[in-house]
Amino acid sequence: MNPLHFLDPVRFARESLAFHPDSIQCEVLRSNSRRCLLNCTRQWGKSTIAAIIALHRALFLERSLILCISPSERQSAELIRKAKSFLEQMNIRPKSDNQNKSSIVLPNNSRIVGLPCREQTIRGFSAVSLLLIDEAARVPKTLYHAVRPMLAVSNGDLWMMSTPNGRQGFFYDAWMSPEWHKIELPATKCPRFSRAFLDEERQALGEPLFSQEYLCQFTDPEGSLFSYKLLEPAFTEKIQSCSQAFTRVNSRPKT
């Protein structure tokens, strides 16, 4: 393989896979962040980009294990199918690991395994080089807690990609945390969406759902009695008051 492809995943995608990423997809592929969040519009192509990221890691790091977790078995299988299709273009014939339904083993003994979010099927993995969580906003928190320890021994990378699903869950918590590298990918920055289509979708879905599905905004869950913007100042004020009271108590001289 071309060693320049190891240094530049975008060149790898163009020359080996005949995939020509747009400018934002190039930014994603070239990111070397160990903890990365992709906040994506629907139909941005995150499964395709995830397949390329997984393939690049598997091809250039022998015996590596890449796990791709999705809410459903169908979604996991689709990501593996895309990876297989890319390998066919490279005249590489992968095989299954004979243990997991959606999996491929490369000639260098690297594995890419696609799994639905069922905790009982995931806990047996360890020394994961790259963990990809697709549609992370719709994956249960218990499963997220179950998979994070798999990165400990290998010091592996964790990437999560999703369309928002309200101000809830671990994906939202991570998006609000300063510890992650974040890339926001709204439909307005995607050259494959026309203005006419987005206008039609805004009219059909209504502003809150359109903002979530296409503009990557963490909106209030449907049916919420009070909005987050209304409640946030009250919670902030309460937390500050408690913090100040705690500081006063602990600053009193001990007798």
Domains for the chain: give ranges and CATH numbers: 3-251 (3.40.50.300)
Give yes or no for residue 240 having a pLDDT over 90. no
| Separation CA 163–CA 216 (nearest Å) | 6
Give yes or no for residue 236 having a pLDDT over 60. no
Give the three-state DSSP class for 111: strand
The label of the residue with tokens 């890449």 reads 66
Identify the band that residue 213 occupies on the pLDDT scale cut at 50, 70 and 90: very high
Give yes or no for residue 110 having a pLDDT over 70. yes
* 79-88, 92-101, 180-189, 195-204: segment of lowest average pLDDT: 92-101
For 195-228, give one letter per residue: b (16+ CB within 10 A) or e: eeebeebeeeeeeeebbbbbbbbbbbeeeeeeee
Identify the band that residue 15 occupies on the pLDDT scale cut at 50, 70 and 90: very high
| Separation CA 96–CA 205 (nearest Å) | 41
For 137-195, the pLDDT digits (tens) are 999 999 999 899 999 989 999 999 999 999 999 999 999 999 999 999 999 999 899 99
